[in-house]
Chains A and B, each alone.
Chain A
Amino acid sequence: MTTDLSDYVASREAILDQVRRILRDTMKLKIEPQAIDPDAPLFGTGLGMDSVDAVELVIQLDTVFGLQLSGSPEAFLKIRSVNTIVDAIMEMTDES
Protein backbone atom coordinates (compact mmCIF):
# COMPACT_ATOMS: atom_id res chain seq x y z
CA MET A 1 0.00 0.00 0.00
CA THR A 2 1.24 3.49 -0.82
CA THR A 3 1.87 5.94 1.99
CA ASP A 4 -0.85 8.25 0.70
CA LEU A 5 -3.35 5.42 0.63
CA SER A 6 -2.50 4.12 4.08
CA ASP A 7 -2.68 7.65 5.49
CA TYR A 8 -6.04 8.14 3.85
CA VAL A 9 -7.40 4.84 5.17
CA ALA A 10 -6.06 5.57 8.65
CA SER A 11 -7.67 9.01 8.83
CA ARG A 12 -10.91 7.66 7.35
CA GLU A 13 -11.04 4.82 9.88
CA ALA A 14 -10.41 7.20 12.76
CA ILE A 15 -13.38 9.35 11.73
CA LEU A 16 -15.47 6.28 10.97
CA ASP A 17 -14.97 4.94 14.48
CA GLN A 18 -15.85 8.26 16.05
CA VAL A 19 -19.04 8.48 13.98
CA ARG A 20 -19.94 4.93 14.89
CA ARG A 21 -19.54 5.72 18.57
CA ILE A 22 -21.74 8.81 18.20
CA LEU A 23 -24.39 6.71 16.46
CA ARG A 24 -24.23 4.02 19.11
CA ASP A 25 -24.66 6.59 21.89
CA THR A 26 -27.33 8.61 20.06
CA MET A 27 -29.32 5.49 19.28
CA LYS A 28 -28.59 3.83 22.65
CA LEU A 29 -27.40 0.77 20.73
CA LYS A 30 -26.06 -1.94 22.95
CA ILE A 31 -23.51 -3.13 20.39
CA GLU A 32 -19.85 -2.64 19.55
CA PRO A 33 -19.21 0.28 17.18
CA GLN A 34 -17.64 -2.24 14.76
CA ALA A 35 -21.03 -3.84 14.31
CA ILE A 36 -22.33 -0.69 12.59
CA ASP A 37 -21.70 -1.19 8.87
CA PRO A 38 -20.26 1.86 7.10
CA ASP A 39 -22.84 1.69 4.31
CA ALA A 40 -25.84 0.81 6.53
CA PRO A 41 -28.79 3.14 5.89
CA LEU A 42 -29.46 5.39 8.87
CA PHE A 43 -33.12 6.29 8.44
CA GLY A 44 -36.27 4.28 7.90
CA THR A 45 -34.58 0.96 7.43
CA GLY A 46 -31.03 -0.01 8.43
CA LEU A 47 -30.28 1.50 11.83
CA GLY A 48 -33.89 2.71 11.90
CA MET A 49 -33.27 6.26 13.07
CA ASP A 50 -36.11 8.77 13.06
CA SER A 51 -36.40 12.55 12.82
CA VAL A 52 -35.84 13.05 16.56
CA ASP A 53 -32.68 10.92 16.50
CA ALA A 54 -31.54 12.98 13.53
CA VAL A 55 -31.72 16.18 15.57
CA GLU A 56 -29.37 14.77 18.19
CA LEU A 57 -27.06 13.30 15.55
CA VAL A 58 -26.74 16.66 13.78
CA ILE A 59 -25.89 18.33 17.10
CA GLN A 60 -23.28 15.68 17.91
CA LEU A 61 -21.66 15.98 14.49
CA ASP A 62 -21.46 19.73 14.94
CA THR A 63 -20.09 19.44 18.48
CA VAL A 64 -17.51 16.76 17.75
CA PHE A 65 -16.44 17.64 14.20
CA GLY A 66 -17.77 21.17 13.63
CA LEU A 67 -19.88 19.77 10.80
CA GLN A 68 -22.84 22.09 10.23
CA LEU A 69 -25.76 20.33 8.63
CA SER A 70 -28.74 22.23 9.96
CA GLY A 71 -30.22 24.95 7.83
CA SER A 72 -30.44 23.74 4.27
CA PRO A 73 -32.30 20.53 3.47
CA GLU A 74 -29.60 19.61 0.98
CA ALA A 75 -26.92 19.69 3.64
CA PHE A 76 -29.09 17.40 5.69
CA LEU A 77 -29.11 14.89 2.83
CA LYS A 78 -25.44 14.26 3.52
CA ILE A 79 -26.39 12.01 6.39
CA ARG A 80 -27.76 8.87 4.78
CA SER A 81 -25.20 6.28 5.87
CA VAL A 82 -22.15 6.30 8.12
CA ASN A 83 -19.97 6.59 5.03
CA THR A 84 -21.78 9.66 3.67
CA ILE A 85 -21.24 11.33 7.07
CA VAL A 86 -17.54 10.47 6.97
CA ASP A 87 -17.40 11.87 3.41
CA ALA A 88 -18.95 15.14 4.58
CA ILE A 89 -16.47 15.43 7.46
CA MET A 90 -13.47 14.68 5.24
CA GLU A 91 -14.72 17.11 2.61
CA MET A 92 -15.06 19.82 5.25
CA THR A 93 -11.56 19.13 6.58
CA ASP A 94 -10.12 19.28 3.04
CA GLU A 95 -11.77 22.63 2.42
CA SER A 96 -10.54 24.27 5.61
Chain B
Amino acid sequence: MSREDEYRAIRHSAALSRMDHVGLLRLMGDEVMEAVDAVCSGDLWVRDSRMLQTLILDDRGQPLADVYVCPDDDACFLLVEGITSEELSALLARHVDPELDAELEDLRPDHELLSVHGPYAWEVLSKWLTPDIIGLPYLSFYRFDRGICFRAGKTGEYGYDLMLRSADAEEVRGELLELVTSLDGAEVSLEALDLCALENGFFSVRHGSVEGLTPMELQLQWRVSTRKRFPGVAAMEQRRARGIGRRLTHFVARDEVKSGDVLRGPEAPVGEVMTAAFSPGVGGVVGTALLDISVAHPGIDEFFASDRDPASPIWTVSSPMLLNRSLLVDPRRHTYATRDGETDPPLWQGSLP
Protein backbone atom coordinates (compact mmCIF):
# COMPACT_ATOMS: atom_id res chain seq x y z
CA MET B 1 0.00 0.00 0.00
CA SER B 2 1.64 3.22 -1.14
CA ARG B 3 1.21 6.51 0.69
CA GLU B 4 -0.67 7.76 -2.39
CA ASP B 5 -3.16 4.89 -2.13
CA GLU B 6 -3.66 5.53 1.56
CA TYR B 7 -4.12 9.21 0.87
CA ARG B 8 -6.65 8.53 -1.87
CA ALA B 9 -8.65 6.32 0.51
CA ILE B 10 -8.86 9.09 3.11
CA ARG B 11 -9.50 11.95 0.71
CA HIS B 12 -11.75 10.25 -1.86
CA SER B 13 -13.49 7.20 -0.40
CA ALA B 14 -13.04 5.59 3.03
CA ALA B 15 -10.09 4.53 5.14
CA LEU B 16 -9.80 2.25 8.14
CA SER B 17 -7.18 2.81 10.82
CA ARG B 18 -6.17 1.55 14.23
CA MET B 19 -5.87 4.39 16.70
CA ASP B 20 -3.38 2.79 19.07
CA HIS B 21 -1.84 6.18 19.84
CA VAL B 22 -5.01 7.43 21.56
CA GLY B 23 -5.52 6.88 25.28
CA LEU B 24 -9.01 5.71 26.29
CA LEU B 25 -10.13 6.66 29.75
CA ARG B 26 -13.32 7.03 31.68
CA LEU B 27 -14.09 9.10 34.73
CA MET B 28 -16.99 7.86 36.80
CA GLY B 29 -18.84 9.62 39.58
CA ASP B 30 -21.09 12.53 40.36
CA GLU B 31 -18.48 15.25 39.91
CA VAL B 32 -16.56 14.10 36.86
CA MET B 33 -16.96 17.35 34.97
CA GLU B 34 -15.63 19.35 37.92
CA ALA B 35 -12.58 17.08 37.89
CA VAL B 36 -12.00 17.41 34.15
CA ASP B 37 -12.53 21.15 34.40
CA ALA B 38 -9.74 21.38 36.94
CA VAL B 39 -7.07 19.99 34.57
CA CYS B 40 -8.20 21.13 31.10
CA SER B 41 -7.45 24.60 29.78
CA GLY B 42 -10.64 25.26 27.81
CA ASP B 43 -14.12 26.31 28.83
CA LEU B 44 -15.88 22.96 29.06
CA TRP B 45 -18.98 24.08 27.23
CA VAL B 46 -19.96 20.57 26.35
CA ARG B 47 -23.32 18.89 26.58
CA ASP B 48 -24.16 15.24 27.18
CA SER B 49 -23.32 13.02 24.22
CA ARG B 50 -21.22 15.75 22.64
CA MET B 51 -17.43 15.98 22.43
CA LEU B 52 -15.20 18.95 23.07
CA GLN B 53 -11.58 19.45 22.04
CA THR B 54 -9.40 20.87 24.74
CA LEU B 55 -5.82 20.83 26.01
CA ILE B 56 -3.88 20.06 29.12
CA LEU B 57 -1.03 22.53 29.58
CA ASP B 58 2.09 22.26 31.67
CA ASP B 59 3.08 24.96 34.13
CA ARG B 60 4.81 26.90 31.34
CA GLY B 61 1.58 26.96 29.33
CA GLN B 62 2.80 24.42 26.78
CA PRO B 63 0.41 21.72 25.54
CA LEU B 64 1.01 18.35 27.15
CA ALA B 65 -2.07 16.62 25.88
CA ASP B 66 -4.77 16.96 23.25
CA VAL B 67 -8.04 15.80 24.78
CA TYR B 68 -11.56 15.06 23.65
CA VAL B 69 -13.93 15.47 26.60
CA CYS B 70 -17.05 13.31 26.11
CA PRO B 71 -19.57 13.48 28.96
CA ASP B 72 -22.46 11.05 29.11
CA ASP B 73 -24.73 10.67 32.13
CA ASP B 74 -22.55 9.84 35.12
CA ALA B 75 -19.42 9.17 33.10
CA CYS B 76 -17.02 11.22 31.07
CA PHE B 77 -14.91 9.54 28.41
CA LEU B 78 -11.55 11.04 27.62
CA LEU B 79 -9.73 10.39 24.34
CA VAL B 80 -6.20 11.56 25.01
CA GLU B 81 -3.13 12.08 22.85
CA GLY B 82 0.24 13.17 24.17
CA ILE B 83 0.35 11.67 27.66
CA THR B 84 -0.12 8.19 29.07
CA SER B 85 -2.97 7.18 31.34
CA GLU B 86 -0.50 7.10 34.25
CA GLU B 87 0.55 10.66 33.52
CA LEU B 88 -3.08 11.76 33.31
CA SER B 89 -3.80 10.02 36.57
CA ALA B 90 -0.91 11.87 38.20
CA LEU B 91 -2.17 15.21 36.83
CA LEU B 92 -5.64 14.59 38.21
CA ALA B 93 -4.15 13.66 41.58
CA ARG B 94 -2.17 16.90 41.57
CA HIS B 95 -4.85 19.33 40.44
CA VAL B 96 -8.20 17.88 41.48
CA ASP B 97 -9.74 18.19 44.91
CA PRO B 98 -9.54 14.62 46.31
CA GLU B 99 -12.98 15.09 47.85
CA LEU B 100 -14.59 15.22 44.40
CA ASP B 101 -16.58 12.16 43.40
CA ALA B 102 -14.65 11.18 40.27
CA GLU B 103 -12.79 7.97 39.68
CA LEU B 104 -10.47 7.44 36.73
CA GLU B 105 -10.45 4.17 34.85
CA ASP B 106 -8.05 3.22 32.06
CA LEU B 107 -10.09 1.47 29.37
CA ARG B 108 -7.12 0.60 27.17
CA PRO B 109 -6.34 -2.79 28.69
CA ASP B 110 -9.53 -4.28 27.29
CA HIS B 111 -10.66 -1.77 24.65
CA GLU B 112 -9.43 -0.70 21.25
CA LEU B 113 -10.14 2.25 19.02
CA LEU B 114 -10.75 1.71 15.30
CA SER B 115 -11.53 4.59 13.06
CA VAL B 116 -13.04 5.15 9.63
CA HIS B 117 -12.27 8.37 7.76
CA GLY B 118 -13.19 9.74 4.38
CA PRO B 119 -15.94 11.46 2.42
CA TYR B 120 -17.84 8.15 2.40
CA ALA B 121 -16.92 6.97 5.90
CA TRP B 122 -20.55 7.55 6.89
CA GLU B 123 -21.59 5.02 4.23
CA VAL B 124 -19.37 2.37 5.82
CA LEU B 125 -20.77 3.11 9.26
CA SER B 126 -24.36 3.31 8.10
CA LYS B 127 -23.99 -0.19 6.64
CA TRP B 128 -22.04 -1.62 9.53
CA LEU B 129 -23.90 0.05 12.43
CA THR B 130 -27.13 1.85 11.54
CA PRO B 131 -28.40 4.24 8.85
CA ASP B 132 -29.13 6.67 11.69
CA ILE B 133 -25.40 7.33 11.88
CA ILE B 134 -25.78 9.99 9.20
CA GLY B 135 -27.76 12.05 11.72
CA LEU B 136 -24.90 12.00 14.23
CA PRO B 137 -23.49 15.55 14.31
CA TYR B 138 -19.75 16.28 14.23
CA LEU B 139 -18.30 15.96 17.73
CA SER B 140 -21.07 13.75 19.10
CA PHE B 141 -21.02 10.18 20.26
CA TYR B 142 -23.39 7.45 21.07
CA ARG B 143 -23.36 4.02 22.63
CA PHE B 144 -24.33 0.86 20.82
CA ASP B 145 -24.34 -2.74 21.98
CA ARG B 146 -20.70 -3.39 21.13
CA GLY B 147 -19.17 -0.08 22.08
CA ILE B 148 -19.23 3.64 21.45
CA CYS B 149 -19.17 5.50 18.16
CA PHE B 150 -17.50 8.94 18.32
CA ARG B 151 -17.92 11.25 15.36
CA ALA B 152 -14.64 13.12 15.38
CA GLY B 153 -11.60 12.76 13.18
CA LYS B 154 -8.72 15.08 12.39
CA THR B 155 -8.56 14.85 8.61
CA GLY B 156 -11.23 17.30 7.47
CA GLU B 157 -13.31 14.36 6.20
CA TYR B 158 -16.13 12.47 7.86
CA GLY B 159 -14.56 10.55 10.70
CA TYR B 160 -15.81 7.95 13.16
CA ASP B 161 -13.87 6.45 16.04
CA LEU B 162 -15.24 3.18 17.34
CA MET B 163 -14.34 2.15 20.86
CA LEU B 164 -14.70 -1.60 21.04
CA ARG B 165 -13.95 -4.37 23.46
CA SER B 166 -10.62 -5.91 22.55
CA ALA B 167 -12.28 -9.30 22.18
CA ASP B 168 -14.49 -7.93 19.39
CA ALA B 169 -11.96 -5.66 17.73
CA GLU B 170 -10.38 -8.12 15.31
CA GLU B 171 -13.71 -9.36 14.02
CA VAL B 172 -15.02 -5.81 13.62
CA ARG B 173 -11.83 -4.79 11.87
CA GLY B 174 -12.44 -7.52 9.31
CA GLU B 175 -16.04 -6.45 8.77
CA LEU B 176 -15.10 -2.79 8.40
CA LEU B 177 -12.20 -3.56 6.08
CA GLU B 178 -14.54 -5.48 3.82
CA LEU B 179 -16.92 -2.50 3.64
CA VAL B 180 -14.10 0.00 3.19
CA THR B 181 -12.63 -2.09 0.39
CA SER B 182 -16.02 -2.32 -1.32
CA LEU B 183 -15.83 1.48 -1.65
CA ASP B 184 -12.31 1.26 -3.14
CA GLY B 185 -10.89 2.30 0.24
CA ALA B 186 -8.07 0.81 2.27
CA GLU B 187 -6.52 0.38 5.68
CA VAL B 188 -4.21 3.32 6.31
CA SER B 189 -1.27 4.18 8.54
CA LEU B 190 -1.01 6.81 11.22
CA GLU B 191 1.44 8.67 8.98
CA ALA B 192 -1.23 9.06 6.30
CA LEU B 193 -3.72 10.36 8.89
CA ASP B 194 -1.11 12.77 10.23
CA LEU B 195 -0.51 14.15 6.74
CA CYS B 196 -4.24 14.79 6.33
CA ALA B 197 -4.39 16.40 9.78
CA LEU B 198 -1.54 18.70 8.75
CA GLU B 199 -3.27 19.67 5.50
CA ASN B 200 -6.42 20.58 7.41
CA GLY B 201 -4.65 22.53 10.11
CA PHE B 202 -5.30 20.15 12.99
CA PHE B 203 -2.93 20.52 15.90
CA SER B 204 -0.92 17.40 16.66
CA VAL B 205 0.53 17.24 20.13
CA ARG B 206 2.81 14.46 18.86
CA HIS B 207 4.40 16.78 16.28
CA GLY B 208 3.50 20.32 17.18
CA SER B 209 4.90 20.60 20.68
CA VAL B 210 7.94 22.78 20.49
CA GLU B 211 9.80 24.19 23.45
CA GLY B 212 8.45 27.60 24.37
CA LEU B 213 5.21 27.45 22.37
CA THR B 214 1.89 28.09 24.06
CA PRO B 215 -1.60 27.94 22.54
CA MET B 216 -1.10 31.59 21.54
CA GLU B 217 1.71 30.80 19.11
CA LEU B 218 -0.04 27.59 18.05
CA GLN B 219 -3.30 29.39 17.18
CA LEU B 220 -5.18 27.38 19.81
CA GLN B 221 -6.47 30.23 21.95
CA TRP B 222 -9.98 28.94 21.37
CA ARG B 223 -9.04 25.98 23.57
CA VAL B 224 -8.00 28.20 26.47
CA SER B 225 -10.43 29.80 28.88
CA THR B 226 -10.10 33.45 29.82
CA ARG B 227 -12.34 33.03 32.85
CA LYS B 228 -11.21 30.00 34.83
CA ARG B 229 -8.14 28.63 36.59
CA PHE B 230 -6.23 25.65 35.18
CA PRO B 231 -2.65 24.32 35.15
CA GLY B 232 -0.52 26.77 33.19
CA VAL B 233 -2.95 29.68 33.62
CA ALA B 234 -0.30 31.99 35.07
CA ALA B 235 2.02 31.38 32.13
CA MET B 236 -0.86 32.00 29.71
CA GLU B 237 -1.79 35.25 31.42
CA GLN B 238 1.81 36.42 31.25
CA ARG B 239 2.05 35.51 27.58
CA ARG B 240 -1.21 37.33 26.85
CA ALA B 241 0.02 40.45 28.60
CA ARG B 242 3.37 40.37 26.84
CA GLY B 243 2.13 39.36 23.41
CA ILE B 244 3.77 36.85 21.13
CA GLY B 245 6.73 37.20 18.80
CA ARG B 246 6.07 34.17 16.60
CA ARG B 247 3.02 32.39 15.24
CA LEU B 248 2.41 29.09 13.54
CA THR B 249 1.63 29.58 9.85
CA HIS B 250 0.89 27.07 7.11
CA PHE B 251 2.83 26.92 3.87
CA VAL B 252 3.25 25.02 0.64
CA ALA B 253 6.48 24.40 -1.27
CA ARG B 254 7.40 22.68 -4.50
CA ASP B 255 10.63 21.16 -3.34
CA GLU B 256 11.56 19.29 -0.24
CA VAL B 257 11.89 21.26 2.95
CA LYS B 258 12.38 19.72 6.37
CA SER B 259 11.56 20.38 9.97
CA GLY B 260 14.11 22.81 11.37
CA ASP B 261 14.92 24.51 8.04
CA VAL B 262 15.52 28.22 8.50
CA LEU B 263 13.17 30.45 6.53
CA ARG B 264 14.39 33.77 5.17
CA GLY B 265 12.73 36.75 3.64
CA PRO B 266 14.40 39.00 1.06
CA GLU B 267 16.33 40.74 3.82
CA ALA B 268 16.44 38.67 7.02
CA PRO B 269 15.45 35.36 8.64
CA VAL B 270 11.70 35.20 9.34
CA GLY B 271 11.37 31.85 11.09
CA GLU B 272 11.75 28.11 10.76
CA VAL B 273 9.91 25.05 9.49
CA MET B 274 8.10 23.04 12.18
CA THR B 275 6.60 20.18 10.18
CA ALA B 276 6.62 19.33 6.49
CA ALA B 277 5.40 16.44 4.37
CA PHE B 278 4.70 15.68 0.74
CA SER B 279 1.01 16.01 -0.10
CA PRO B 280 -0.34 14.09 -3.10
CA GLY B 281 -3.39 16.39 -3.08
CA VAL B 282 -1.30 19.54 -3.37
CA GLY B 283 1.37 17.91 -5.51
CA GLY B 284 4.03 19.45 -3.34
CA VAL B 285 5.13 19.89 0.23
CA VAL B 286 2.74 21.14 2.91
CA GLY B 287 3.84 22.22 6.31
CA THR B 288 3.77 24.53 9.27
CA ALA B 289 6.33 27.17 10.03
CA LEU B 290 6.95 29.32 13.05
CA LEU B 291 7.13 32.83 11.60
CA ASP B 292 7.92 36.21 13.08
CA ILE B 293 4.60 37.73 14.13
CA SER B 294 5.12 40.67 11.75
CA VAL B 295 4.89 38.32 8.76
CA ALA B 296 2.90 35.37 10.17
CA HIS B 297 0.21 35.66 7.53
CA PRO B 298 -0.97 33.61 4.56
CA GLY B 299 -0.54 34.84 1.01
CA ILE B 300 3.16 35.73 1.21
CA ASP B 301 5.40 34.42 -1.61
CA GLU B 302 8.74 36.00 -0.65
CA PHE B 303 10.16 33.43 1.75
CA PHE B 304 12.51 30.54 1.10
CA ALA B 305 14.20 27.73 2.97
CA SER B 306 17.76 29.03 2.92
CA ASP B 307 19.43 25.77 3.98
CA ARG B 308 18.55 24.17 0.68
CA ASP B 309 20.66 24.46 -2.38
CA PRO B 310 19.19 25.96 -4.40
CA ALA B 311 17.07 27.82 -1.81
CA SER B 312 13.55 26.42 -1.85
CA PRO B 313 10.76 29.02 -2.05
CA ILE B 314 7.72 28.57 0.20
CA TRP B 315 4.34 30.28 0.01
CA THR B 316 2.31 30.85 3.13
CA VAL B 317 -1.34 29.75 2.93
CA SER B 318 -4.53 29.84 4.97
CA SER B 319 -5.74 26.84 6.88
CA PRO B 320 -7.54 24.62 6.06
CA MET B 321 -5.84 24.52 2.69
CA LEU B 322 -7.93 21.86 0.93
CA LEU B 323 -11.47 21.85 -0.38
CA ASN B 324 -12.36 18.59 1.33
CA ARG B 325 -14.68 16.23 -0.54
CA SER B 326 -16.65 15.73 2.64
CA LEU B 327 -17.86 19.33 2.40
CA LEU B 328 -19.49 18.49 -0.91
CA VAL B 329 -20.87 15.06 0.01
CA ASP B 330 -24.30 15.04 1.64
CA PRO B 331 -25.15 11.64 3.14
CA ARG B 332 -28.82 12.41 2.62
CA ARG B 333 -28.36 12.70 -1.15
CA HIS B 334 -25.15 11.03 -2.26
CA THR B 335 -23.54 7.60 -2.24
CA TYR B 336 -20.07 6.45 -3.28
CA ALA B 337 -21.57 4.40 -6.11
CA THR B 338 -23.44 7.36 -7.60
CA ARG B 339 -20.67 9.94 -7.09
CA ASP B 340 -19.54 11.97 -10.02
CA GLY B 341 -15.80 12.30 -9.54
CA GLU B 342 -15.38 14.06 -12.90
CA THR B 343 -17.11 17.28 -11.92
CA ASP B 344 -15.66 17.56 -8.43
CA PRO B 345 -13.49 20.64 -8.01
CA PRO B 346 -9.81 19.94 -7.29
CA LEU B 347 -8.83 19.39 -3.64
CA TRP B 348 -6.16 22.03 -3.90
CA GLN B 349 -7.29 25.25 -5.49
CA GLY B 350 -4.03 27.12 -5.20
CA SER B 351 -0.73 26.95 -6.99
CA LEU B 352 2.84 26.17 -5.95
CA PRO B 353 6.01 28.27 -5.95
For window 4-55 of chain A, which residues contact chain B by CB distance below 8 Å? Answer: 5, 8-9, 12-13, 16, 31, 35-41, 44-48
Give Cα A86–Cα B205 distance, bound, in whole angstroms: 27
A-B contact pairs, 13 of them (CB 8 A): A5-B295, A9-B295, A13-B297, A35-B221, A36-B222, A37-B220, A37-B221, A39-B201, A39-B318, A41-B201, A44-B138, A45-B53, A84-B318
Chain B residues near A83: list those with CB within 8 A.
297-298, 318-319
Q: Do B320 and A5 touch across chains, with their CB atoms under 8 A apart? A: no
Q: How large is the interface on B (under 10, 10 to 19, 20 to 34, 35 or more residues)?
A: 20 to 34
A47 to B220, CA, bound (A): 10
Given A45-B139, A84-B318, A36:B299 Cβ within 8 A: no
Question: What's the tally of chain A residues with a CB closer than 8 Å to chain B?
Answer: 31
Total A-B pairs in contact (CB under 8 Å)? 81
Is A92 interfacial (CB-CB < 8 Å)?
A: no
Determine which of A37, A74, A87 lies in contact with B219 in the assembled complex, contact meaning CB atoms within 8 Å.
A37
Per the bound structure, the CA–CA distance linking A67 and B219 in Å amounts to 25
Query: Which chain A residues have a beta carbon within 8 Å of chain B's beta carbons?
Result: 1-2, 5, 8-9, 12-13, 16, 31, 35-41, 44-48, 73-74, 77, 80-81, 83-84, 86-87, 90
The answer to whether B222 touches A47 (Cβ under 8 A) is yes
B246 proximal to A (CB < 8 A): no
Least Cβ–Cβ distance between A18 and chain B, in angstroms? 15
Q: A21 CB to closest chain B CB, in angstroms?
A: 16
* Beta-carbon contact of A39 and B327 below 8 Å: no
